[in-house]
Amino acid sequence: MAFEHIDEQLQARRGASLFRERRCIEAAEPRRINVDGHWYLNFSSNDYLGLAQSDALKQAAADAAATQGVGSGASPLVSGHSRSHKELEDYLCEALGRDRVLLFNSGFSANQALIQTLVPKDANVIADRLCHASMLDGALASGARLKRYTHNDMEHLSRLLSQSEGDCLVMTEGVFSMDGDQAPIKDILRLCQRHQALAFVDDAHGFGVLGAQGLGSAELHGADQASLPLLMATFGKAIGTSGAFAATTEMFYDYLVNFARHYIYSTAMSPLMAAITLRSLRLVREESWRREKLQQNIQLFKTLSAEHGLSLMPSDTAIQPLLVGEADRALTCAEDLRQAGFFLVAIRPPTVPDGQSRLRVTLSAAHQGEDIKQLVQAIARKAQDGA
């Protein structure tokens, strides 16, 4: 039979407890989801500010639907770039202090476009070892020399920069999606400046959450366009909508518009979604209480976990990983917690390294204190039972 490797690899994944399946969410609320007719407290969502299912954003969607088209109808360079797209881009330019912004349908697409397009084959890409798959795939597709430094290890990064000749792109996440810790942005930018390297930050999990106005890692660390000329973030997490953006210089913008195949040959984001996203961004800046409540929930979870003897990975963000170890054990823990009314997904290889499967607890401003207390108590009971 042709393509026998497909069935072989699927069987191997099943045998290693690594097979992946989707679950259909039948209904959703800010803190709960309904799966297969059962309601669960949801601790697996990246909706950090509780906006995705909020009445405020639902009303924004209804208001926008009265004036905005549902589909863009074409790529941005044909007839798909509308006033709502321009208004969203202009808002981000002003808020972030960047020359230009480009919108994408996903963070994966944005990362692929930026890295694959801007980096020539004779250049170097130096990436944190825990960078997102989309960043690594973009680097590999560019044909450049890819090097990876030990996670958040500035001595290793400095050494690799010293050994690299020619153009060099250094890339990191602002908040790492599986570990929840943050990159030392200021140190990375200093090293880039010293070695005349280009800095690129994927701030998917920091944008909307970090900084006084929720503008992410760039705002938190005072990284302007001169020091950080390539910034990507998504709308599908704290902002509560979908899509992504790249904020950059005029020159890089022009180059991407003319050469980035992911941008040129993709239908533009829905103008309706652009309008809703703009309203959400304004809500993020106006309603600082959402970030304050999220921080309270993070501290409550960490405090209660310590009191119950739970060993968390080091993180001060909404991503709080509980390391379990082997994939089969992580699956069992997740299923036991679902039986107790909590929706948590077991994160397994190849998303994380072998032997580092985990329960990735994600907290939201929508969670109530009692939700968090019940979750920690349930995890502690499972730990005591040896689950």
Q: Which positions are catalytic?
A: 46, 132, 173, 177, 202, 205, 237
Under DSSP, the state recorded for 175 is B
* 44-74 per-residue burial string, b: 16 or more CB within 10 A, e: under 16: bbbbbbbbbbbeebeebbeebeeebeeebee
Phi, psi (5° rounding) for residue 289?
-60, -25
- Helix (H) or strand (E) holding 123, with range, is none
Tokens of 120: 């020539």
Please give the C-alpha separations between residue 33 and each of 21, 39, 343, in angstroms, as whole numbers: 17, 6, 8
For the chain, state the CA radius of gyration. 21
List residues bridging with 182 in a β-sheet: 175
Exposed/middle/buried for residue 144 (C-beta within 10 Å: 0-12, 13-18, 19+): buried
